[in-house]
Amino acid sequence: MGRVLYIRHGQSQANLAGILAGGSNDSNLTDLGRQQARQAGRALKNNSINKIITSPLSRALETAQIIAAEIGYDVQRIELDPRLKEYELGVGQGQSLEGMTAEKIVSFPGAEKPAEFAKRVKSALYSAWEDSGTVVIVAHGGVSRLIDCLRIGKDPKWFYDMPNHGNATVVELDLTWLKDA
């Protein structure tokens, strides 16, 4: 099993506006988000990166491309994995983050079932973990919250109540819990 590093995308327009973007909103990076992605790339320079896998949403893909350029990784080799897309919010997409809770997030009409969200993310994580060497995953805040939720054994419906990782923060994932999942 390899080493997996997780990076939430840089600041997006939706982050700046304080609204929920979700899996159907292709919110672009801000200038600050691009700067954050460059900083994440610089933080990875002393690592031997074997693979970069990203959500296909533009905010994650652009972050991955900027990181790849910073570390000298061939941008054409970046792998898109739709299993890493952000949680689908249904009618919650575009709503204000203020006062948002896991209970509200998962109850929006058209929202993805948390168990299905967990299933697709676990599948993507396991695939990345099976690779040898160091794999970088670039995805979203909801995905990182879900990972933390699953790691401690909480029901996935509570993922949104987990603390959020900062934009473009590099986190090394301990995925040993996947053996039991």
Choices 3.40.1440.10, 3.40.50.1240, 2.40.50.140, 2.40.280.10: CATH for 3-179: 3.40.50.1240
pTM for the full model? Answer: 0.96
At residue 110, the pLDDT reads 96
Domain parsing of the chain, residue ranges: 3-179
Give catalytic status of residue 86 as yes or no: yes
How far apart (Å, rounded) are the C-alpha atoms in residues 18 and 13?
9
- Give Cβ neighbours of residue 136 (< 8 Å, ≥ 6 apart): 4, 5, 6, 7, 44, 49, 51, 52, 53, 64, 67
8 DSSP 8-state letter: E
At residue 131, the pLDDT reads 85
At residue 179, the pLDDT reads 84
pLDDT averaged per 10 residues, the chain (length 181): 95 96 92 98 94 98 98 97 97 94 96 98 95 94 97 96 95 91 68
Catalytic residue among 86, 112, 140, 165: 86
- Give Cβ neighbours of residue 76 (< 8 Å, ≥ 6 apart): none
Give catalytic status of residue 140 as yes or no: no
Catalytic residue among 9, 62, 88, 165: 9
